[in-house]
Chains A and B, each alone.
Chain A
């Protein structure tokens, strides 16, 4: 069509124009920071300039009213400059100390939650769920809202031994990432195939290639080319669904939540670590998923009581050992905790190190 407009392929915008002038002026020249209270950071530059950061948790999925309310607060108290963190917290940047307390008050009065810094349980990073993805076993935003209602005091305070990052994912492809605690959904039954549709909808070789365990084979069903799944091999990941929607993975009954711990992406004190399975078979129980939250709270309580200063959850468990971890959080240890994936042997104990 004639009126079609060529895109301007500008890519990632230059942030310099949106950065607080004090941050622009002292770029790369920061000397140290302090943590005057939960939710607030004070950074001091070699020039003597300082910038105050006030961090707040929101509902992450912002409606226009909420976004504009956040902007109003920013205009009024924070020179109109904000920054968003990896975990979807909003941070206001202020060069005038006198504005910090009024800003905190304005945020709290408007229903936002100031906190999420240092040794807190910060906002749960999450994926899309029923609101938007096409293979979700559950809703991510709903799980997170219900859980943050219960963890809000730990967001507002910094009482943990070290920071705690929680993530959720609505299927085991795990777009939500690694966390100190990760609540992930697992489909537990192989996809149900609508054979009448496969031939028309699916590019079969690419579906076969998608499966991580080679469980899918081309097959003729009712005289039509279709696919079949070796159900003993299938790990119910759902990866075959996006290229082939007739392979329905969503299932109301057999979708369960599982909890993983010890993912830590920092290099501090040790190399980054992946999260490990601790609990599975947790009911997918909307709208508030109380069973999952109860386990998360038990893990947090044991960590808070048992870990030493600076120990992240993975470091705490490394010190006390997995047998004691399972005891302390009162979770069953089963054959499903034994890894079967490539490289599983590296997770077996080949020493006489035993915990009593």
Chain B
């Protein structure tokens, strides 16, 4: 049956040019797909989108849709112009958690595509900025059927609303020589410990985990997650002097000085007269620059672990916040290490759930109550690595000073320093 196609003169212009066009993709669903339901949905979606382009306004509004047993994970979308575009008047998105590290076989991608073909619009995003596979466009009954089907073969919804959200991890150990940790394990242990908090939104606001295997932070964890795990090391970086010499021979001394030696933020590098490199490892802050320039010559050390930063987030409500170092270094080797990582996350989420205001991210709560109070609340001792510099303001009561100083020395003694 031929459908009455909406005219889309503006969208058609997005089919020109060399970059692949999502409009052409939606049109393929409208014109070439064997299922009339999908044809009609794509047609009306294009119609509404063209209407948005003409009038420069969006026409979706929220509502409530969830699958049986869960409270979140679906972004409900109802059209405000559904009378004109009935086939896409309900166009909900299911947020589905990807395998950690975004690894797929084509076989599993096909299986997901087949399921979505039965119930959805046929449009999928790999991945949204929070990390979900986003299955865009299903009506209310279909969300349940689609979820049931993919849930049977191992996929689960992610978070939406005030809850623990879908986590993200970099490719790291699977392919990257810089990785200092097992990102996949940290990712899965953290988020899967909180499945209940993912599916039943009951926290003050969203809470995100992101794991990057080294300080290059390919996952943007420090800026964009409430709980950032960043791989690092604390012994000496590994230097292959022969490769250093090769690099200098290829690029020249001048280039080497300008691009490696003088770019070290802590001036920890010295180029010797014989074209070997000396690293002052006590000054190195493991920024990754010199390793990035010479991935053959320089490698992370052997004593690997992670740094944990809490409270990163985007703009709403008090402006963008970076995460703050809460655990400068933590080994992640044994099962107990991983278990204690999860326990730390539990402690932090519990404290925030109790003390955060409604719609207040963890980082905003820390700003409101103060870092020292937060540390006390989660039972972590202060450490100079948590700050850029100590206090500037003199307006504070310090009558507990002696005791705090004694505790510092006692902790140092306990750590054998």
Contact = CB atoms under 8 A, between A and B. Distances in A.
B314 A174 contact: yes
B173 A90 contact: no
B22 A175 contact: no
A239 interface: yes
Contacts of A65: 25, 28-29, 32-33
Interface in A259-298: 263, 265-270, 272, 274, 284, 286-288
A232 interface: no
Contact of B60 (A127, A134, A175, A206): A134
Nearest to A237: B316
A134 B195 CA distance: 27
B177 A61 contact: no
Interface of B: 10-11, 13-14, 16-26, 28-29, 32-33, 45, 49, 52-53, 55-62, 67-70, 75, 77, 91, 93, 97-110, 113, 116-117, 122-127, 129, 136, 147-148, 151-152, 154-157, 166-168, 170-171, 173-177, 179, 182, 184, 187-188, 191-192, 195-196, 198-199, 215-220, 222-224, 255, 258-259, 263-265, 285-289, 292-293, 295-296, 299, 314-320, 322, 357-359
Contacts of B21: 59, 145
Nearest to A267: B215
Contacts of A131: 45, 49, 136
B318 A342 contact: yes
Contacts of A43: 175-177
Given A5-B68, A19-B174, A269-B289, 12 more contacts: A7-B156, A10-B195, A12-B98, A13-B155, A23-B174, A31-B177, A57-B20, A63-B28, A88-B126, A265-B217, A267-B285, A310-B259
Nearest to A41: B175
Given A11-B191, A59-B25, A27 B174 contact: yes
A286 B156 contact: no
Contacts of B97: 11-13
- For B99, B157, B175, which residue has the most chain A Cβ atoms within 10 angstroms? B175
A-B CB proximity, top 6 nearest? A149-B17, A63-B25, A15-B99, A252-B56, A11-B192, A267-B215
A126 B168 CA distance: 16
Nearest to B48: A130
B403 to A, nearest CB: 32
Contacts of A334: none
Contact of A310 (B10, B91, B263): B263
A299 interface: no
B100 A8 contact: no
Given A13-B154, A145-B21, A272 B222 contact: yes
Interface in A1-21: 4-20
B70 A64 contact: no
- For A75, A130, A176, A269, which residue has the most chain B Cβ atoms within 10 angstroms? A130
Contacts of B182: 28
A8 B223 contact: no
A287 to B, nearest CB: 4
Given A19-B174, A80-B106, A145 B295 contact: no
Nearest to A126: B129
Chain A binding surface, main DSSP class: loop
A252 B57 contact: yes
B129 A272 contact: no
A65 B299 CA distance: 42
A7 B173 CA distance: 32
16 contacts: A15-B100, A57-B19, A58-B20, A59-B20, A83-B171, A134-B61, A145-B14, A150-B17, A152-B18, A172-B315, A206-B359, A245-B62, A250-B58, A265-B222, A272-B322, A274-B320
A142 B53 contact: yes
A253 to B, nearest CB: 8
A139 B49 contact: yes
A146 B57 CA distance: 19
A129 B22 CA distance: 13
Contact of A12 (B70, B167, B179): B167
B142 to A, nearest CB: 15
A60 B125 contact: yes
A27 B129 contact: no
A133 interface: yes
A242 B205 CA distance: 14
Contacts of B192: 10-12
A307 B33 CA distance: 49
B174 A33 contact: no
Contacts of A136: 58
B75 A61 contact: no
A224 B197 CA distance: 38
Contact of A268 (B55, B154, B191, B289): B289
A82 B109 contact: yes
A349 interface: no
B65 to A, nearest CB: 14
Contacts of A32: 177, 295-296
B17 A146 contact: yes
Contacts of A250: 57-58
Nearest to B209: A12
A152 B77 CA distance: 33
B321 to A, nearest CB: 9
A104 B32 CA distance: 27
Nearest to B174: A23
A127 B259 CA distance: 35
Contacts of A342: 318-319
Interface stretch (A66-74, A188-196, A215-223, A325-333): A66-74
B135 to A, nearest CB: 11
Given A63-B26, A265-B220, A134 B62 contact: yes
Nearest to B188: A12
Contacts of B224: 177-178, 265
A148 interface: yes
B123 A269 contact: no
Contact of A8 (B122, B129, B156, B215): B156
Contacts of B117: 64
A12 B191 contact: yes
Contacts of A62: 25, 123-126
B2 to A, nearest CB: 20
A269 B265 contact: yes
Nearest to A4: B68
A55 B37 CA distance: 34
B316 A51 contact: no
A308 interface: yes
B179 to A, nearest CB: 7
A75 B18 CA distance: 25
B106 to A, nearest CB: 4
Contacts of A157: none
A322 interface: no
